[in-house]
Structure 1
């Protein structure tokens, strides 16, 4: 058994030390080690196991479990076509050992599995020599068999191999950690504090869910950007709409921003965050006519930075955080495509901007890359293209529904004149929007111009027969104009279309009609 242990550790030593295989996992009893090798892009997984099974059925059970573990490992590390070499080292082959032990049982899962067994004693057709195993791995070696020696001598060699393997593993782990230790999350903390400060300031000044307040504090508002307020492309990154939006983005920035800043360093992270935020705002400006705010574009830029890290360090990426990053990213993008309120253009723009910005600044301690200058040109070109499209895409310059919502908030503030200016301008471009005509009628009612109000409300119900509020207000205006029959007809229309609208006081209009009849 001591000779088999010696052989086991000698094989592991040669693969790890001489052939530069990387240790993925080690069992607590150190009787199995999982290794990974990258041969010019073709990766292989090797499991070396110390086995002492007497019966073949026990060996087959272990083999089946190893193949299940390989499928899980393959999925977690995105190994795709990587073959699996399952190597057993034993003192004696199990009873009734034959070639069936080496046959793969994983063809249905499209996994390439090779099984080998090498033994100190008990040669059969199913037993492989170490030379045969290394030859299958594509390794040339002049292998010297384990010589007979005292147990103490065997143990000395085993300890020597184990120590060397352990040191190599520690050095590899230290090298991995160094990729995540290039900075401290200083800027991330400052950004979080800034976002919270701005949120409290907005809440104190009005409400973070109030569109006018958001616009006043620098939200992305296309008409204002078209008039030259380009700074909104950056200021929108510090605004958030409601507490839930703030909390979700803050948590994402804390974890993602902190990770990216540690990996890239503070200076690089600043460029990545700003570039991604700008790309997100530009994409929103080019493709979305709604008022928008939030750090989502910059946060998705952090995803882009992590993806770029995965391109440069594919194995490390998937061994640490890769599948989790891809899952969370995919989930967020899926939400963006299915929930209309989410500005997915900003998310995708930020993702692309973060990836390109990361490619330009590159990773610390990696030296100059020949792709950095071309990437910078692509970065500038894409930013210019989004800006140009934003100015040329007139359909995204303004939204009649957004104009109506803003005008509504001006009316709630008692700013009828500003609301009227906005509605009048909006109607010139969108004369068939019933909501705009409704608000125009509401303003005319406040000015006691009932004739003009009636015209606006009539136009609103003409464009939308189910507009209960417009029918209701039209009935009130008709009463003021002495048109009782028309008022009764509008009231009936309002009742029919607004049955579930608890804000409409139909009894009030009926009382007014009774008073008008007397």
Structure 2
């Protein structure tokens, strides 16, 4: 009984797998077919299909080849490859007895299988050495040991066992890639953002801008006023239940994956740098009040992209192109739906990618590359900070700040309202009529009439149509006994808004005094 064909099947598999150039991805139930995928190399065949059959008729060979092509197309789809080359090897004692099938001497491209390149070899007794040389060239694998001429059953079993051990080792190596850490910090971050949200709801409402500000949401005027911690605290703050739930689920699924790949310490660094970079990008490009873990979560996407860049085959086999689709979809929604801080998302994505480049993979070092990523991260962050600082504070941000202060005023918490208004960058920001008006209102409550009048005049300088400022100035001068000045400002308020009953009533009242003096 000859064991030649079984021996060649497992000998070839062992040589290809133990070389590190290929890995076993499928074994048929009958043990006569093996599919091997290329791990490294560029010019070699992407797949090698080893078949151990006694070929009798060429018609059976053609039918089996067609089935193998269908299998290859399924594998091509699962590997997300546009083009796939397959070396198809039949190990047989003798070629088919008829002349209906001739081995190919060049790559064949099936017309109904776009992107597929096919090469069939018949490894029979007559041309064994020649065919083995071709396989060596097309696989990029040099045989470690010579092939036995008369192998026995022990040789076959031994090679089969060795091959299985190597295949198991390869699988375990892949599995270890996703076992570098337990999701300790992922669960910690989830717990923190849930606890902060509950605390915010107890103190007020997570959707109240004042509560958000008190807990450290990102707001450019306050950052420019020196509250730089607002580049960190927004990572743990969420606006409403839906925002919290979406980010918590995303963090749970993405965070656990990234933490298992890169380890807990590296994940902590990646997540925080990505979150901070998202806040900085938002500071540079968005004037809105914002908060949320979205930037840090997009940083997890950035970490996975880094993983895919360095280990593309493993990335596509385990995660696939779905990651790209999810990233693109989320960014598209950010541009399409008003109120979403896409600058923070993109900043987090970039920050996560560069932060991962700094820490690299566990137990692996690329000192020069890691230093480049370190400078790149600091460079991008510094550039965005400078850009945000140069933008200064916009007038609309002053209006928003005044609206938030209005809430404190309604609660008669004048101290907190005034402190909030004074955080506005008056020297470098755009002049804000609303800020000065709200300050004057509080100053009037404190009976600081002279200061209030000064600020009301600033309001009029900025916005000559600000009728409330004219009216309040008229009241201040009326209170101070300066009737003519009061009459002048009251008249201007009435002219700007003639249908206002208060304005007309004040003008009528002052007219009597002015008329009497005349």
Q: Indicate whether the TM-score tops 0.5.
A: yes
Q: Indicate if the aligned counterparts of 1:212 and 1:406 stay in contact, CA closer than 8 A.
A: yes
**C-alpha deviation, 1:238, in angstroms:** 0.7
**C-alpha deviation, 1:386, in angstroms:** 1.0
Q: Indicate if the aligned counterparts of 2:299 and 2:353 stay in contact, CA closer than 8 A.
A: yes
Deviations 1:366-387 (A, max 9, x none): 1352222232222222211111
Asked if 1:50 is matched to 2:60, the reply is no
Provide the aligned C-alpha RMSD in A.
Answer: 4.3
Q: Which residue is equivalent to 1:137?
A: 139
Whole-angstrom CA distance in 2 between matches of 1:457 and 1:157: 106
Q: Which residue is equivalent to 2:449?
A: none
Whole-angstrom CA distance in 1 between matches of 2:460 and 2:361: 50
Asked if 1:97 is matched to 2:100, the reply is yes
**C-alpha deviation, 1:28, in angstroms:** 4.2
2:174 pairs with one of 176, 181, 190? 176
Deviations 1:293-350 (A, max 9, x none): 0111111112222222223333322222243333322222222232232211111111
Q: Which residue is equivalent to 2:281?
A: 283
**C-alpha deviation, 1:27, in angstroms:** 3.6
Asked if 1:31 is matched to 2:32, the reply is yes
Alignment of 1:49-448 (within 5 A): 49-50=50-51, 52=53, 56=58, 58-74=60-76, 76-77=78-79, 79-80=81-82, 83-91=85-93, 93=95, 97-99=100-102, 104-106=108-110, 111=115, 113-120=117-124, 129-139=131-141, 147=149, 153=152, 155-394=153-392, 398-399=396-397, 402-403=400-401, 406=404, 418=417, 424-425=434-435
Whole-angstrom CA distance in 2 between matches of 1:282 and 1:253: 20
Q: Indicate if the aligned counterparts of 2:44 and 2:139 stay in contact, CA closer than 8 A.
A: no
Whole-angstrom CA distance in 2 between matches of 1:345 and 1:430: 35
Whole-angstrom CA distance in 1 between matches of 2:79 and 2:395: 45
Question: Which stretch shows the higher mean deviation, 419-428 or 172-181?
Answer: 419-428
C-alpha distance 213-274 of structure 1, shift in aligned 2 (>3 A) = same
The alignment partner of 1:240 has SS state of coil
Question: Which stretch shows the higher mean deviation, 283-292 or 207-216?
Answer: 207-216
C-alpha distance 267-14 of structure 1, shift in aligned 2 (>3 A) = closer
Q: Indicate if the aligned counterparts of 1:106 and 1:112 stay in contact, CA closer than 8 A.
A: yes
The alignment partner of 1:259 has SS state of helix
Whole-angstrom CA distance in 1 between matches of 2:154 and 2:385: 70
Q: Indicate if the aligned counterparts of 2:178 and 2:261 stay in contact, CA closer than 8 A.
A: yes
Q: Indicate if the aligned counterparts of 1:403 and 1:423 stay in contact, CA closer than 8 A.
A: no
**C-alpha deviation, 1:249, in angstroms:** 1.0
Question: Which stretch shows the higher mean deviation, 293-302 or 43-52?
Answer: 43-52
The alignment partner of 1:113 has SS state of strand
Q: How many residues align?
A: 457
Q: Indicate if the aligned counterparts of 2:34 and 2:51 stay in contact, CA closer than 8 A.
A: no
The alignment partner of 1:209 has SS state of coil
Whole-angstrom CA distance in 2 between matches of 1:83 and 1:256: 33
C-alpha distance 139-185 of structure 1, shift in aligned 2 (>3 A) = closer
Whole-angstrom CA distance in 2 between matches of 1:74 and 1:438: 71
Deviations 1:260-306 (A, max 9, x none): 22222222222212111110100000000111001111111122222
The alignment partner of 1:99 has SS state of coil
Structure 1's consecutive aligned runs of 4 or more residues displaced over 6 angstroms after TM superposition are 100-103, 142-146, 414-417, 419-423, 426-433, 436-444, 451-460
Q: Indicate if the aligned counterparts of 2:278 and 2:347 stay in contact, CA closer than 8 A.
A: yes
Q: Return 5+ residue gaps in structure 1 as ranges.
A: 461-473, 483-518
Whole-angstrom CA distance in 2 between matches of 1:67 and 1:429: 78
Deviations 1:219-255 (A, max 9, x none): 0011111100111111111100111111111112122
Whole-angstrom CA distance in 2 between matches of 1:99 and 1:266: 57
Deviations 1:429-475 (A, max 9, x none): 99999xx979999999xx9x9x9999889979xxxxxxxxxxxxx97
**C-alpha deviation, 1:110, in angstroms:** 5.6
Q: Indicate if the aligned counterparts of 1:12 and 1:48 stay in contact, CA closer than 8 A.
A: no
Q: Which residue is equivalent to 1:490?
A: none
C-alpha distance 453-165 of structure 1, shift in aligned 2 (>3 A) = farther
Whole-angstrom CA distance in 2 between matches of 1:93 and 1:287: 70
Whole-angstrom CA distance in 1 between matches of 2:297 and 2:460: 36
Bigger radius of gyration, 1 or 2? Answer: 2
The alignment partner of 2:120 has SS state of strand
**C-alpha deviation, 1:214, in angstroms:** 0.6
Q: Which residue is equivalent to 1:470?
A: none
Q: Indicate if the aligned counterparts of 1:302 and 1:354 stay in contact, CA closer than 8 A.
A: yes
Whole-angstrom CA distance in 2 between matches of 1:41 and 1:385: 39
Q: Indicate if the aligned counterparts of 1:77 and 1:323 stay in contact, CA closer than 8 A.
A: no
**C-alpha deviation, 1:76, in angstroms:** 4.4
C-alpha distance 121-17 of structure 1, shift in aligned 2 (>3 A) = same
Q: Which residue is equivalent to 1:463?
A: none
